[in-house]
């Protein structure tokens, strides 16, 4: 096995650089990986009594992993968050295995802590429409109101994640009848664009005070840079307070609602899976708050030998 002279944190930065350069991982994900894996490396330094390099990283056993997880739980880290941290550590170790040839069985064999998945809560049809109609009123600037309306319409009308909507560039406008969206895991999918979404984006572009080129982000903040998702979250927070909607009426809930309302209208579960970009049909089932009775109805309608 080739021994690397770099310390553990240098290896971490090399891994993050690789993710950014070769896989196009988002800045937000990179920072989450740096925080989660960096915390793990910090634990190892205390656990083993000093800064660690490649040699020490290669000797981590299942007992060390359990000690780290116990340490995190004592710090008050919830099972869901610990599962995310463990996933990041495993990804880091898979990379170490590729570049150093070390045995990472102990790390990869560490069991993910169990936690109860929180099912998303979709927004009711009338509430989703009211959200779209009202979000523009949260800003005194007309172009900002039009911008927020366009983004929220894309979330509900096309089932986009907020990151996917804000990653659009001016090159994408005017929006075509369908968009090629790159989602999680760099997976591409084709999403139909409803007329309401195209009209909302057109209205925003007409009002936007900034000059745009094909490379310019489509949705801009007040300083002319790519819009921060927090701005949409804040606008929706104000809107749901105005409308008396629950705290679950978030940008991501609009995507949930897109899927749920399509299914309630008779949409095919597999087609909705493709529109959302889910790798697993079971994920879509949970995403749409699909009960067992409705699932069987979809199954019987779709399967040639069912019913």
How many Cα atoms within 13 Å fall on the side-chain side of residue 87? 9
Whether 230 sits among the annotated catalytic residues: the reply is: no
Helix (H) or strand (E) holding 192: strand 188-192
- The tokens for 274 are 């493709």
Structure tokens at 13: 């930065």
Rounded Cα gap, residues 258 and 128, in angstroms: 9
* Distance separating alpha carbons of residues 260 and 265, to the nearest angstrom: 9
Catalytic residue among 93, 156, 204, 287: 287
196: nearest Cα among 208, 188, 204 = 204
Name beta bridge partners: 181.
189
Joined together, the tokens standing for residue 167 give 């990653």
Catalytic residue among 161, 198, 240, 256: 161
Q: Answer for the pair 36, 88: CB distance below 8 angstroms, yes or no.
A: yes
Q: Which helix (H) or strand (E) holds 264?
A: helix 251-264
The structure tokens listed for 306 are 């069912």
**Which among 61, 80, 184, 187 is annotated as catalytic?**
184
Which of 252, 270, 300, 301 is an active site residue? 252
161 is catalytic: yes
- Separation CA 22–CA 157 (nearest Å): 32
Active site residue 261: no
Q: Which residues are catalytic?
A: 161, 184, 252, 255, 278, 287
């Amino acid at each position: 096995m080739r021994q690397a002279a770099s310390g553990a944190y240098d290896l971490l930065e090399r891994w993050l650089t690789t993710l950014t350069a070769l896989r196009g991982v988002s800045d937000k994900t990179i920072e989450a990986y740096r925080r989660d894996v960096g915390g793990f490396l910090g634990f190892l330094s205390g656990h083993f009594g000093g800064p660690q390099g490649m040699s020490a990283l290669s000797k981590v056993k299942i007992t060390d992993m359990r000690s780290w997880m116990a340490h995190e739980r004592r710090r008050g880290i919830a099972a869901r968050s610990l599962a995310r941290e463990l996933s990041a550590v495993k990804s880091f170790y898979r990379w170490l295995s590729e570049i150093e040839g070390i045995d990472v069985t102990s790390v990869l064999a560490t069991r993910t802590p169990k936690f109860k998945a929180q099912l998303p809560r979709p927004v009711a049809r009338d509430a989703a429409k009211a959200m779209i109609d009202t979000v523009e009123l949260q800003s005194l600037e007309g172009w900002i109101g039009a911008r927020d309306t366009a983004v929220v319409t894309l979330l509900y009308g096309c089932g986009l994640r907020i990151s996917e909507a804000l990653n659009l560039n001016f090159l994408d406008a005017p929006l075509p009848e369908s968009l090629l969206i790159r989602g999680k895991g760099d997976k591409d999918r084709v999403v139909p664009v409803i007329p309401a979404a195209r009209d909302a984006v057109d209205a925003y572009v007409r009002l936007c005070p900034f000059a745009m080129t094909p490379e310019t982000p489509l949705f801009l903040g007040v300083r002319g840079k790519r819009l921060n998702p927090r701005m949409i979250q804040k606008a929706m927070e104000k809107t749901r307070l105005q409308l008396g909607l629950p705290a679950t009426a978030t940008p991501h809930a609009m995507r949930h609602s897109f899927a749920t309302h399509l299914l309630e209208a008779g949409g095919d579960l597999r087609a909705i899976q493709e529109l959302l970009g889910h790798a697993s049909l079971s994920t879509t089932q949970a995403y749409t708050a699909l009960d067992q009775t409705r699932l069987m109805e979809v199954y019987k309608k779709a399967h040639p030998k069912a019913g």
